[in-house]
C-alpha cells in the first residue's frame, strides 16, 4: 500500500458526490414552492411521461415509494386475503412486505445460481390460490423473463415485476418493466435513479391498470367531490419529481459507468477463482449493477479486512427472508431454500457506483488480491 491508498476511503454511498452541485435543482424547487404546485402537479406528469418513455411502456404512475408501487399494483388486481403471491426468498424485505400489506400470503421460492428467481421452483409453487407472480430484478440483474412469462401465460397469472433495482435492466434487449402487466420501480436515494427521499413509479401499458392506480394512490378520488372507492394516499411529490427529472437525464451515463466499473472488477476478480466466484454473466441479460455481488471464500474475514481499508463492502443480505423473525407465521425453516441460504452465507457487495474513481476501484482490487495472497 502506498501512503495515498492508506487513507483512501471507498464509500458505498455516493450521495455527497452526486449532489455536490445542486444550485440548478434548488432554483427549480424555489419556483415550485412559489407556485404551490406540491401534489400531483406539472412536474409529476412530466416525470411520468419521461419515465414511461425511458422504460418503454405506455404509462407510468408516480407513487410514494417502490414498496407502494408493488403494494398498489397488487391492490389494482384486487389481490388480498386468501390469495397467494410468489416471490423469491433472497429479495429485499420490501417485496415481501408489499405482499403482506396487501393482505395476501407470501410464498417464497428459492433463487437459482445467479441469485434470481428459480423459474422451475416458481412454477412448482403455483396453487389454485396463486394470484400473481412477483419476480425481482436482483441487484440489477434480470430474471429469465421469457421463461417467467411463459409460465405466467400457461397458468393465466399476472406478473408484477419488482424492478426496484432494475432501471435499464433488460433481457433479450427488452427492458425490465415491459414484460409484466405492471412493474414497480424505486427512486430511493441509493437506487440507480434517485430522489431526495422516497419515491416510486409503477409502469404499465394497460390503460385500465393506469386508471385504477391513479385512483388508488389518491384516495379513490375520481374528481374533487367524488370517490370511486376508499383507497390510499401515496403520491410522488412534485418536489421529488423535479429531482427525478434531472436524474433521468443522467440515466445513460450512470448506467454505462456502473456497467463499465463492473467489467473492470469482473476482469480482475475472475483471476481469483475459486476463492472468488462471480455470478455467471449471460449475454442475453443487461445487468445494470445496482449491486456488484460475488461469492467469496472466508467472506466475513474479507469483509472486515476491506472495511479496515476504508472500503465499504456490504452483504445483501445476511439473513434470507424465510429465516427472518417476520416470516415465523409463514412456517419456513432452515434448509427450505438452499441457494438463498448459501448466498446469504457467502456473497458480498462492493461499491460499483458511478462516482467511483479509478484509484478507488484499483484500491478495492489490490486489497482483495492482498487478502487472498496472505
Ligand X SMILES: *Cc1c(COP(=O)(O)O)cnc(C)c1O
Contacts with ligand X by CB under 6 A lie at 65-67, 91-92, 94-95, 136, 162, 164-165, 186, 188, 198, 200
Q: Grid coordinates in use for 164?
A: 426496484
Distance CA(52)–CA(67), nearest Å, equals 19
Closer to ligand X by Cβ: residue 201 or 276: 201
CB of 212 to ligand X, least distance (A): 20
Closer to ligand X by Cβ: residue 67 or 261: 67
CB of 95 to ligand X, least distance (A): 5
CB of 228 to ligand X, least distance (A): 25
Closer to ligand X by Cβ: residue 165 or 175: 165
What is the layout of strands, in order, in the sheet containing 105-109? 105-109, 84-88, 130-133
CB of 283 to ligand X, least distance (A): 24
Quote the DSSP letter at residue 130: E
Strands 182-186 and 170-171: unpaired
Distance CA(73)–CA(176), nearest Å, equals 16
Distance CA(264)–CA(285), nearest Å, equals 18
The dihedral built from the CA positions of residue 123, 285, 66 and 228, taken in this order, carries a sign that is: negative
CB of 217 to ligand X, least distance (A): 14
CB of 194 to ligand X, least distance (A): 9
Closer to ligand X by Cβ: residue 197 or 310: 197
Q: Is 237 helix (H, G, I), strand (E, B) or coil?
A: strand
Q: Name every residue whose Cβ is closer than 8 Å to that of residue 119 and which is 6 or more positions away in sequence.
A: 112, 143, 144, 147, 148, 151
Contact (Cβ atoms closer than 8 angstroms) between residue 47 and residue 251:
no
Distances (CA, A) of 170 to 44, 176, 253, 286: 25, 5, 16, 5
Closer to ligand X by Cβ: residue 201 or 356: 201
Distances (CA, A) of 283 to 35, 116, 163, 170: 48, 16, 20, 11
CB of 254 to ligand X, least distance (A): 16
- Residue 173 has a CB neighbour count (10 Å cut-off) of 7
Distance CA(339)–CA(118), nearest Å, equals 10
Closer to ligand X by Cβ: residue 186 or 347: 186
Closer to ligand X by Cβ: residue 183 or 365: 183
CB of 190 to ligand X, least distance (A): 8
Strands 182-186 and 174-175: unpaired
Closer to ligand X by Cβ: residue 136 or 303: 136
Distance CA(250)–CA(260), nearest Å, equals 16
Comparing every residue's Cβ against ligand X, the nearest one is 66
CB of 200 to ligand X, least distance (A): 5
Closer to ligand X by Cβ: residue 67 or 175: 67
Strands 105-109 and 84-88: parallel
Amino acid at each position: 500500500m502506498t501512503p495515498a491508498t492508506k487513507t483512501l476511503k471507498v464509500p458505498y454511498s455516493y450521495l455527497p458526490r452526486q449532489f455536490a452541485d445542486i444550485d440548478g435543482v434548488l432554483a427549480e424547487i424555489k419556483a415550485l414552492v412559489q407556485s404551490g404546485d406540491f401534489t400531483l402537479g406539472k412536474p409529476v406528469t412530466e416525470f411520468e411521461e419521461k419515465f414511461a418513455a425511458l422504460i418503454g411502456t405506455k404509462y407510468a404512475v408516480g407513487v410514494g415509494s417502490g414498496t407502494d408501487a408493488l403494494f398498489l399494483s397488487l391492490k389494482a388486481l384486487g389481490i388480498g386475503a386468501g390469495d397467494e403471491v410468489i416471490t423469491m426468498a433472497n429479495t429485499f424485505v420490501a417485496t415481501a412486505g408489499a405482499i403482506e400489506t396487501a393482505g395476501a400470503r407470501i410464498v417464497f421460492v428459492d433463487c437459482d445460481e445467479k441469485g434470481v428467481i428459480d423459474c422451475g421452483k416458481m412454477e412448482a409453487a403455483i396453487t389454485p390460490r396463486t394470484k400473481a407472480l412477483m419476480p425481482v430484478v436482483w441487484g440489477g440483474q434480470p430474471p429469465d423473463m421469457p421463461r417467467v412469462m411463459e409460465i405466467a401465460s400457461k397458468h393465466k397469472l399476472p406478473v408484477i415485476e419488482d424492478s426496484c433495482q432494475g432501471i435499464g435492466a433488460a433481457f433479450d434487449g427488452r427492458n425490465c418493466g415491459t414484460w409484466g402487466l405492471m412493474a414497480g420501480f424505486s427512486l430511493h436515494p441509493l437506487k440507480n435513479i434517485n430522489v431526495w427521499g422516497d419515491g416510486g413509479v409503477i409502469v404499465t401499458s394497460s390503460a385500465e391498470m393506469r386508471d385504477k392506480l391513479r385512483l388508488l394512490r389518491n384516495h379513490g378520488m375520481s374528481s374533487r367531490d367524488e370517490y370511486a372507492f376508499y383507497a390510499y394516499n401515496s403520491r410522488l411529490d412534485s418536489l421529488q419529481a423535479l429531482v427525478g427529472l434531472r436524474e433521468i437525464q443522467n440515466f445513460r451515463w450512470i448506467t454505462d459507468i456502473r456497467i463499465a466499473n463492473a467489467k473492470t472488477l469482473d476482469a480482475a476478480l475472475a483471476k481469483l477463482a475459486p476463492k472468488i466466484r462471480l455470478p455467471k454473466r449471460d449475454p442475453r441479460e443487461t445487468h445494470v449493477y445496482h449491486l456488484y455481488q460475488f461469492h467469496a471464500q472466508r467472506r466475513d474475514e474479507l469483509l472486515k479486512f476491506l472495511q479496515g481499508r476504508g472500503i465499504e463492502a456490504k452483504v445483501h443480505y445476511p439473513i434470507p427472508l424465510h429465516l427472518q423473525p417476520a416470516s415465523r407465521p409463514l412456517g419456513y425453516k432452515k434448509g427450505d431454500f438452499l441457494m438463498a441460504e448459501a448466498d446469504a452465507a457467502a456473497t458480498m457487495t462492493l461499491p460499483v457506483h458511478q462516482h467511483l474513481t479509478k484509484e478507488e476501484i484499483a484500491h478495492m482490487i489490490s486489497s482483495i488480491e492482498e487478502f487472498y495472497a496472505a
